[in-house]
Amino acid sequence: SNKQLTFTITIKNIGGATAYNISVTDYFPIGFSPNENTTIISNLANNSETTITVTSNITNETAFGVNDNYVKVTYYDDENNSYVVSNSSIVNLTEPKYPKLKVWKTLCNATTFNPNEMEPCDPLNSTDTIFDKNDTVVFKIKIRNIGEQKIYNVTAFDMLPPGFEPISPYDTTTQNITPNEFPVGSEMTYYIKAKITQNASVGRNLNQIHTSGYYYDCVSGTYKLTHDEGNVGVFVRIPADYPVLNVTKTGNVSGMAQGDTIRYTINITNTGNDTAYNVNVTDTLAGGFYFISLSGDNTTAPTNISGSGNTTIITFNVGNISVNQTKIVYIEAGSYNDVQAMELRANMVNATGCVNVTCNDRVTGSAEYWLNITSIK
């Protein structure tokens, strides 16, 4: 770290004779570098004093909060007898202030949506609302800095489900918004209106939003990333004679430290009335995570590993899934040491299969798993 603390030490001779060969050793708090400093003062006459300053660096191992700074002084009299005196002071290091991106995603009533109104969104319950193909949906995305420090170059990366066609004013399936500076408490809101086309899958389609931005970390003296994710499900009506893909995702831990690994278990069960053919699975790891391995039913290696919006996207195939059959897949992922701690983070998965061997229609299911990340310290 390039951050230093300077300590001032005053030594005064209050005795009646000269103190000789004075050695002043400052023992810095745990996590400082160097962890001690020794200064030699030749002599100090009675009733005189001297002041010295010493510095030490704050490191990533420095403990925030109340720390003791201990000083020991050794000196000799004119008959070469040695003496030791000591003192201490309190060093209170305040925890650095960090930013935090937070994103919310809401499903709006497209019938009542009016972009000219102050609040155009009439929220819908995404769990209970069933759509049909050719219907129109509106997504509301709100991003806010809920932390205590500015964020720079914030990017919002929105991923519409396949078969959802955006309507004006948005003309692409990926929307990137990049303000140069995102102050504390500031927020931005935007809307995406889309049509559910005939190419959309029936079942629970997952609309994902990923955000990231940079903040200045005063401890390391570098810029680091902060992330957040959000999603909302859009359920498109499934005909009675179709397969139904019920997807769940769990992890072997509910919380992890920076740099730790996690093992996800993905269950894909066909609870419908026909076979789901050629089921492809897309698993999205949140920003700050990386892919390690894939194992389980009908899996040897991912067919594709890509990245968008600071995510890692893993694509693989589990073959056909018969009625009442379950395919189980395991994904091991790791987190980087500098992934921001104290966040509730999402990792999302979609499974999409063909309704028949000719793939005239598709059925999809989705799930997500949330976990907390704690500091590596």
Place of tokens 């990366």: 157
Sequential pLDDT tens for the chain (377 residues): 446 788 899 999 999 999 999 999 998 887 788 888 899 998 999 999 999 999 888 776 676 667 778 899 999 999 999 998 988 887 777 666 667 788 888 899 898 888 778 788 888 887 789 999 999 999 988 888 888 888 888 888 888 899 999 886 543 344 444 557 888 888 888 888 999 999 999 999 988 888 888 888 877 788 888 888 888 999 999 999 999 999 999 999 888 888 899 999 999 999 999 999 999 999 998 888 999 999 998 766 777 777 666 788 899 999 999 999 999 999 999 998 878 766 667 789 999 999 999 999 999 999 989 888 877 54
Same domain for 117 and 14: no
Report the 10 Å Cβ neighbour count for 245.
29
Q: Do residues 154 and 212 share a domain? A: yes
Q: What is the CATH number of the domain that holds 327?
A: 2.60.40.1530
**Stated pTM of the model:** 0.69
124 with 229, same domain: the answer is yes
Backbone phi and psi for residue 220, each to the nearest 5 degrees, phi listed first: -85, -20
Last residue of a domain, one of 93, 111, 141: 93
What is the tally of structural domains in the chain?
3
Which residues 6+ apart lie within 8 Å of 311 measured at CB? 157, 210, 284, 285, 286, 287
The reply to whether 187 and 306 lie within a common domain is no
Nearby residues of 39 by Cβ (< 8 Å), 6 or more positions away: 23, 24, 25, 26, 52, 54
Tell which of 206, 237, 268 closes a domain.
237
Specify whether 36 is located in the same domain as 161. Answer: no
Clarify whether residues 21 and 153 are in a common domain. no
Q: Which of 174, 202, 237 is the last residue of a domain?
A: 237
Are 225 and 288 in contact by the 8 Å Cβ rule? The answer is yes
Structural domain span for residue 195: 96-237
Are the CB atoms for 160 and 120 separated by under 8 Å? no
103 in the same domain as 89: no
Distance, in Å, from the CA atom of 327 to the CA atom of 272, rounded to the nearest integer, reads: 14
- CB within 8 A of 246, min separation 6: which ones? 268, 269, 270, 271, 365
Are residues 205 and 252 both part of a single domain?
A: no
299 near 306, Cβ under 8 Å? no
Residues 58, 151, single domain; the answer is no
Could you tell me the CA-to-CA distances from 365 to 268, 276, 279, 283 in Å, in that order? 8, 11, 11, 12
Across-strand partners of 333? 262, 291
